[in-house]
């Protein structure tokens, strides 16, 4: 009789341990339950690059690209207001917007806040037109939201603007050395008068 009681008590104890273990396993967290930070790629519908002549503030040029459907089938619409003058210096500011929302979202704010994870690149096909980046991230690496553009002789070509996410920093200033992912890339017609 004692042996039966010992066996029954042992079985009950084992069952209790199994139930407790099952409950523990069901309520414990696994790696899939931990919150994950997702950095979703922002939709950038509009790129606007504003240049103001440093000698004549009335000479303002605005390059604007609007791609209302983002990566959809519709081509972006490009507009240029004003004229760049030969042998002149311009202060530049770029804005990245998501105008598919109302009110529109200024993505530039995020680019500046996360400056160590972004860089704007400017590529001119006109060799004597140069663009320098006037702002830096917390580590002293170029950002490119604020620029200086210097024109040379009269000419025409293209101006490519590229926003890179998580580029290699520091880099040699070239897009080919930067790495990272392209958030947006636009190509404007560039006319120097």
Do 8 and 58 lie in one domain? The reply is no
φ, ψ for residue 70, nearest 5 deg: 60, -120
The Cα 148–Cα 55 span in angstroms is: 13
Q: Give the percent of the chain with pLDDT over 70.
A: 79
Domain count, the chain: 2
Do 105 and 132 lie in one domain? The reply is yes
φ, ψ for residue 187, nearest 5 deg: -125, 120
φ, ψ for residue 88, nearest 5 deg: -130, 160
Q: Is 91 within a domain? A: yes
φ, ψ for residue 186, nearest 5 deg: -135, 150
Do 11 and 90 lie in one domain? The reply is no
Do 70 and 148 lie in one domain? The reply is yes
Alpha helices in the chain, H assignment, sequence order: 2-27, 107-113, 175-178
Instruction: Write the DSSP symbol of residue 111.
Output: H
The Cα 66–Cα 76 span in angstroms is: 5
Do 18 and 94 lie in one domain? The reply is no
Do 66 and 147 lie in one domain? The reply is yes
pLDDT per residue over 136-147, tens digit each? 999 999 999 999
pLDDT higher than threshold 50 for residue 23? no
3-state class (DSSP) for residue 78: strand
**Which among 92, 45, 91, 43 has a CA at the least distance from the CA of 65?**
45
Q: Is 38 within a domain? A: no
The Cα 85–Cα 93 span in angstroms is: 18
Domain hosting residue 23, numbered range: 2-33
Do 23 and 61 lie in one domain? The reply is no
Residue-level pLDDT at 71: 77
Beta strands in the chain (DSSP E): 46-53, 60-66, 77-81, 89-98, 105-106, 118-124, 130-133, 146-150, 155-165, 181-192
> 42 pLDDT band (50/70/90 cuts)?
confident
Residue-level pLDDT at 20: 46
CATH number at residue 157: 2.60.40
7 pairs with which residues across the strands? none
The per-residue b/e assignment along 32-70, b for 16 or more CB within 10 angstroms, e otherwise, is eeeeeeeeeebbbbbbbbbbbbeeeeebebebbbebeee
Do 13 and 55 lie in one domain? The reply is no
Q: Is 39 within a domain? A: no
The Cα 66–Cα 46 span in angstroms is: 4
pLDDT per residue over 90-125, tens digit each? 999 999 999 998 899 999 999 999 999 999 999 999
């Amino acid at each position: 009789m004692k042996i039966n009681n010992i066996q029954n008590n042992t079985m009950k104890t084992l069952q209790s341990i199994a139930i407790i273990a099952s409950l523990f396993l069901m309520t414990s967290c696994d790696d899939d339950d931990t919150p994950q930070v997702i950095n979703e790629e922002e939709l950038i519908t509009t790129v606007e690059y504003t240049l103001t002549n440093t000698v004549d503030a009335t000479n303002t040029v605005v390059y604007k690209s609007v791609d209302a459907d983002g990566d959809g089938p519709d081509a972006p619409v490009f507009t240029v207001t004003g004229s760049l003058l030969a042998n002149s210096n311009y202060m530049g500011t770029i804005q990245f917007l998501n105008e598919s929302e109302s009110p529109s979202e200024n993505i530039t704010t995020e680019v500046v806040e996360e400056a160590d994870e972004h860089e704007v690149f400017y590529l001119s096909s006109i060799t004597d037109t140069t663009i320098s980046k006037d702002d830096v991230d917390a580590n002293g690496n170029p950002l490119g939201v604020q620029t200086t553009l210097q024109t040379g002789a009269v000419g025409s070509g293209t101006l490519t603007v590229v926003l890179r996410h998580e580029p290699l920093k520091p880099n040699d200033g070239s897009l080919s050395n930067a790495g990272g992912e392209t958030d947006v890339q636009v190509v404007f017609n560039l006319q120097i008068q």
